[in-house]
Amino acid sequence: MPQGLTLWLVILVAGVGTFVLRLSFIVLLEKIKEPEAMRRSLKYVPPAVMAALVASSILVNDNQLFVSLDNHRLTAALIAGLVGWRTKSLLWTILTGLIALFALTSL
Amino acid sequence: MSAVAQNSWQGVKAVSPLLPGIFPFGVIAGASAVELGLPTMQALGLSLFVFAGASQLVLVEMWDRQAPALILLATVLVVNLRFTMYSAALAPHFRGMSSRWKSVLAYLLTDQAYLLSIGRYEDKVQGTKWFYMGVALTLWIVWQAGTATGVFLGNTLPDSWSLDFAVPLSFLALLIPSLNSRGALIAAVTAGTLVLLTRLMPFNLGLIAATLAGVAAGMLTERRS
């Protein structure tokens, strides 16, 4: 299959799958009440998945652990994390990280 | 003003402080998609069909790394699993509506639409869908405008800005507010550590394994305390 077509297929399936996840309980809970255990487990998905994504993209480089002062992305992420924690702002977290990395790599 | 207009307007007003953050995030998502090799139409289609920032970035990143399609899709859906939680929380407020309305409300569901609406609905047996619509549709318009801007400006942005770093940064920005309990913190630390130990597992399966372990650790922490 040509690349462009495969990509369209991937996007469509991802879109339909995401829509089904969004619609899931809006439809399922029309008549019944949600099981407690399910809701309890789902609330830990966001912190777990986001932490895993952050750790793997910042601390791993070519399948090697990269924890060192030379890892500018790590330093920039720590600065951005601090700003994000203080400001609770998506925008400021991203901007600070980008500016910090730009400054660190230009030094 | 009619009740519909009034509630919609309340939603638009509630979401407006977030828009200066959503638009550039959209620009970055659109630019990353093009920079990592998505053609223009697919980059725009991605925003339209998936309409979920973090997972769009995951899809683009894994496509660039040539991950197998099934693994890529599984990862995207794991990232979006949180929507089922929002869906369950909002379901009581959307009870009794037509399938068509439920589809529209579900398509527009985002972290911010959920957070703002749940805050507003708190004490009510059933909140108005128009407040949610005001929030969610505004976010949709701004997100589409942002990603389209990024898609068309993408290639013109200089490499030294390291805009691809915006991808992990956006995950970091979403991670921070989710650390709202001891269980959530343990879930994050567990998943973040395990993903490093499982980094040699093929096709990002380590990410799914680490996430599931993190969720289990969070639940165990909650049960203990």
> What pLDDT shows up at residue B18?
77
A51 → closest Cβ in B18, B39, B191: B191
Mean pLDDT of A25-31: 89
- Tell me the two tokens of residue B96: 């009794």
Residue of A nearest to B182 (CA): A44
> What pLDDT shows up at residue A91?
78
- The domain in which residue A17 lies consists of 1-43
> What pLDDT shows up at residue A88?
83
- Considering the entire predicted model, what is its pTM? 0.76
Q: Say whether A55 and B25 touch across the interface (CB within 8 A).
A: no
A41 at interface of B, judged by CB pairs closer than 8 A: yes
Identify the sign of the CA torsion B72, B73, B76, B77. negative
Does A94 share its domain with A71? yes
> What pLDDT shows up at residue B207?
82
Distance between B75 CA and the closest CA of chain A, angstroms: 10
Q: Say whether B83 and A10 touch across the interface (CB within 8 A).
A: no
Residue of A nearest to B178 (CA): A47
Percentage of residues in chain A having pLDDT higher than 90? 53
Give the model confidence (pLDDT) of B184-211 as tens digits. 999 999 999 999 998 887 656 788 889 8
Q: Give strand pairing partners of A61.
A: A64
Does A20 share its domain with A36? yes
pLDDT at A42 over 80: no
Q: Say whether A94 and B168 touch across the interface (CB within 8 A).
A: no
Does A28 share its domain with A51? no
Does A25 share its domain with A51? no
Does A28 share its domain with A48? no
Does A51 share its domain with A101? yes
Number of domains in chain A: 2
Does A15 share its domain with A64? no
Give the model confidence (pLDDT) of B33-90 as tens digits. 998 889 999 999 999 999 998 899 889 988 998 989 998 999 899 889 889 888 988 9
Interface pTM, i.e. ipTM: 0.82
How would residue B223 be classed by pLDDT, with cut points 50, 70 and 90? confident
Distance between B201 CA and the closest CA of chain A, angstroms: 10
User: What gap in Å lies between CA A51 and CA A45, rounded to an integer?
Assistant: 10
Does A71 share its domain with A96? yes
Give the model confidence (pLDDT) of B127-180 as tens digits. 789 999 999 999 999 999 999 999 998 756 676 777 678 778 878 987 898 898
Q: Chain A residues with CB inside 8 Å of B218's CB?
A: 43-44, 47-48
